[in-house]
Structure 1
């Protein structure tokens, strides 16, 4: 059975490590930030402590599985992570934040079981992955082109645009459709397109202008797109 101070230390460490990951998410204005990650880590740690404590009470008296209570955290955290994933048009946001919540739950379980070294190492790797590797990923990626397209608001129009770009070999990384400020049935579509060296801005503009209903196109090259 764990001592009282041992329990307090583990809970404190879980708050600290969860806060480190949460701070990184908070700095990027994500839906799950500092408080959410701390609570997930703290709750996971407490459940693991309870699992160990309850098993020590009935050890030798029953065939109880000490990992059954803690195992529910792994599946239960999926519901919380799913709440951070949002679909906007053709874009899915929140996957990285959902993954960080899942990892933080694992960190809390590790601290609760007394595996401090593993918890600290994983926290460091997570912070490095969320911070530094995003810059490396951006540097290694090809250019992303940003287009603002004005087109008529008619059924199937977005599908025509996507089909034309797909035939060209361009990949849509993000699409935002503004219908609130539509004037004279004209809507504005923002496209972030991932391209290779063989697909130029001129080719994309030519392809888009061939789509019936498009009235204007404004494009520029970017090295990055909004963080997902």
Structure 2
């Protein structure tokens, strides 16, 4: 295998991993641009190492046929180790917040770029490139379709700045429950030195609900500093 072939395969793996990682980075997910690039590059490197070991074993056997029984390599062993081992990295992107699971898509994308990197490293360009392109289609095109579906069903996302107390958060959730809003997701963005926090609520709310009344009801809760809708209500 020539140096040009090695560099070409590594570069393609890097680009494919970066493309998927960019989408994750854009959505502010735990593992983004550089992480996906490194995973894909590492997987491709393992594939190239496996091929180089096979070629070296072939040369040794050609020079000394008596080594044929002694030199044995499993073609898929290193690749299998990468696929199973990437699970530990993917698990680090999954976390539980108040009974809501986040990071499953990012964990899946990390596993996918590892497979894509292995494919390119082994020289199966069609498999590696095709897998990455289909993954981007799922992440981008279907993501937009999902947003359109959310608009029709009254799903919105609101950003709330509050004093960081659990009692305030509980009061907000109680208010949402009273008006019939179903909490689909809750994400804590930050917590400053003063103890104040910012969180994102994704809600299944009737699209006919009055926007101003809804926001006013949240602000009436003691400990809430500000509230704004960042997704949804586009028809109003």
TM-score by length of 2: 0.67
What is the CA-CA distance between 1:104 and the residue it aligns to? Answer: 0.8
Tell me if structure 2 keeps the 8 A contact 1:44–1:108: yes
Q: Give RMSD over aligned pairs.
A: 4.0
Structure 2 equivalent of residue 173 of structure 1: 185
SS in 2 for 1:98: helix
Alignment of 1:1-228 (within 5 A): 2-56=1-55, 57=57, 60-61=68-69, 62-141=71-150, 142-143=153-154, 144=156, 146=158, 148=160, 168=180, 170-174=182-186, 176=188, 192-195=201-204, 197=206, 215=222, 223-224=231-232
What is the CA-CA distance between 1:72 and the residue it aligns to? Answer: 0.7
Structure 1 range deviating more: 4-13 or 44-53:
4-13
SS in 2 for 1:173: strand
Tell me if structure 1 keeps the 8 A contact 2:160–2:228: no
When residues 20 and 90 of structure 1 are mapped into structure 2, their CA distance, relative to the original with a 3 A threshold, is same
Structure 1 range deviating more: 34-43 or 2-11:
2-11
Partner Cα distance (2:17, 2:166) in 1:
48
When residues 215 and 133 of structure 1 are mapped into structure 2, their CA distance, relative to the original with a 3 A threshold, is same
- Gaps spanning 5+ residues in structure 1: where? none
What is the CA-CA distance between 1:199 and the residue it aligns to? Answer: 9.6
When residues 114 and 171 of structure 1 are mapped into structure 2, their CA distance, relative to the original with a 3 A threshold, is same
- Paired residue total: 212
Structure 1 range deviating more: 142-151 or 35-44:
142-151
- The C-alpha deviation readout for 1:111-142, integer Å capped at 9, x for no partner, is 01111011111121222222232211111122
Tell me if structure 2 keeps the 8 A contact 1:201–1:219: no
- Gaps spanning 5+ residues in structure 2: where? 62-67
Partner Cα distance (1:188, 1:9) in 2:
47
Structure 1 range deviating more: 20-29 or 67-76:
20-29
Tell me if structure 2 keeps the 8 A contact 1:145–1:219: no
What is the CA-CA distance between 1:42 and the residue it aligns to? Answer: 1.2
- The C-alpha deviation readout for 1:163-198, integer Å capped at 9, x for no partner, is 88669572342154979757xxxx888562532549
Structure 1 range deviating more: 16-25 or 162-171:
162-171
Partner Cα distance (2:164, 2:44) in 1:
54
